[in-house]
Structure 1
């Protein structure tokens, strides 16, 4: 597939779009099991599926890790579990489109902080206006759900920044694989409590496993191939599809109806990401994740896709 993508940005973008579509479809499928497993139960099974996938690919040499490697890996495991737990909890309360759009503020904040250009401030303002239009604060607004989505955004930002540190201390993607193992182990008590209390039917486990496959295994396999083959510009545009896909899939699969003003808010958040993307000179010929100008990265980090 690398040869099929290399030198053809349209094909690279198609793969990134497929990854985003799979991720949001997996979240929607997992939400169908909330009634019996609950958001945390679904996240626990998803984390275990992610651990199996990443460990089978990366095969991390856990016994050889040093203390300096385990510290950021443990922090990454925390962000990994907290990010997905917060996102799925928010999804259960405010819907897929709203939760993912608010969570998208996390990588957007990292992009703005990394570049610190003047037009990025405009991007922040546009994103905030978009969130206001999306949530339309009122006395009946689910502020807890919105707050949990903001926590997910913060965890996504922390996940990106920590993953960069892990990438400098642990070769390949062994650090990410080790973090998923730790996070899945930490979720086992939660899953035991959920199973003991709710005694979910077998269909709930099937849906949660499908969520793990669609939201972790498929995107990871696709991102692993494409991330080093496309420019930061193409990657950033592909990342912008997540809120749009989440809102569309929420409408089609979960019957979540958003008013026109909410769709306008989502579009504004997506456009704000466009303002933070690297310019043509820095994007041309640069693979995502490479350091640009004074050692800083521009645009959403590629680690954001590996969730």
Structure 2
């Protein structure tokens, strides 16, 4: 779990080093290519056997996958790694809290909203376009979760995710070609982008696959809450992006809200299971 989280954030940081040459869209294009190669090799989708009922969520997933990464990397370019990843993290937090009617989850939602208000408060240096891109990435991540559930129910194994990654990479082929013609990339920029693709796509995917065989999904979800903290730490260590006390408090509020929601949900499930086991 630690390897997955750190790899993802280090990959994003390394990818940002190629922004001056390739721009966020160029880095995302390379990342999509790497992700497609890895997932197609693992999933091996039988595309000819897909029905339209299976194809339409795969097509939507491909669009969401590309948009999510593009908006996230564009946000990183404008507002830094820690803040961008924290805003993106609101996607799964919203999914986790939306269906609940418990008071404790309502309190968690208020804490998360307070964190967002702190992060997006008006100030002279605020980059609202960057913040908006972070929120777009959050909406895409929430959609990504819901679409993955649909794809997982309709297509066996990792075939659906692999097909979506392949289609997303195809969508970015013209983008990569235009960037290569208009501004020939340097070797260093391409290496940074490829490393970002490996660290942010291949390593987390394989690490998560191995982890979920040994660790309960609830614990995995709880550890995912640490990702904004890891992003802030990596941004500070590798990119020199400092996070002030106020921003740190906002990030902490969002992380705490998600962790609290997961812990209280698991506690309630355990209590219900114990009651059902009684004679």
State the TM-score bracket (shorter-chain normalisation). Answer: over 0.9
Whole-Å Cα distance in 2 between the matches of residues 271 and 137 of structure 1? 23
Give CA deviations for 1:9-48 in whole Å, capped at 9, x if unaligned: xxxxxxx122011000000000000000000100000001
| Dislocated runs of 4+, deviation >6 Å | none
1:271 to 248, 253, 256: 256
Alignment of 1:2-151 (within 5 A): 16-151=1-136
Query: Does residue 255 in structure 1 map to residue 244 in structure 2?
Result: no
Cα distance in 2 for partners of 1:136, 1:195 equals 39
Structure of greater Rg = 2
Of the structure 1 ranges 122-131 and 249-258, higher mean CA displacement relative to structure 2 is found in 122-131
In the alignment, structure 2 segments of 5+ residues that lack a partner are 274-279
Tell me, in whole angstroms, the C-alpha distance in 2 between the residues paired with 1:232 and 1:167: 16
The TM-score with structure 1 as length reference comes to: 0.85
8 A contact 1:232–1:283 mirrored in 2: no
Deviates further, 268-277 or 178-187: 268-277
Residue 280 of structure 1: which of 251, 267, 276 is its match? 267
* Structure 1 contact 43–88 (Cα < 8 Å) conserved: yes
- 2:219 aligned residue: 234
Contact 1:102 1:153 (C-alpha < 8 Å) held by counterparts? yes
- Hey, what's the Cα distance between the residues in 1 that align with 2:34 and 2:61? 17
Alpha-carbon separation, structure 1, partners of 2:198 and 2:220? 22
**TM-score, normalised relative to structure 2:** 0.93
Deviations 1:81-105 (A, max 9, x none): 0000000000000000000000000
RMSD between aligned residues = 1.5
**What are structure 1's unaligned runs of at least 5 residues?**
1-15, 287-307
- Secondary structure of 1:257's partner? coil
**Equivalent residues, number:** 270
Report the Cα offset of residue 232 of structure 1: 3.5
Bigger fraction of residues in helix? 2
Measure, in 2, the Cα distance between the counterparts of 1:32 and 1:237.
Answer: 30
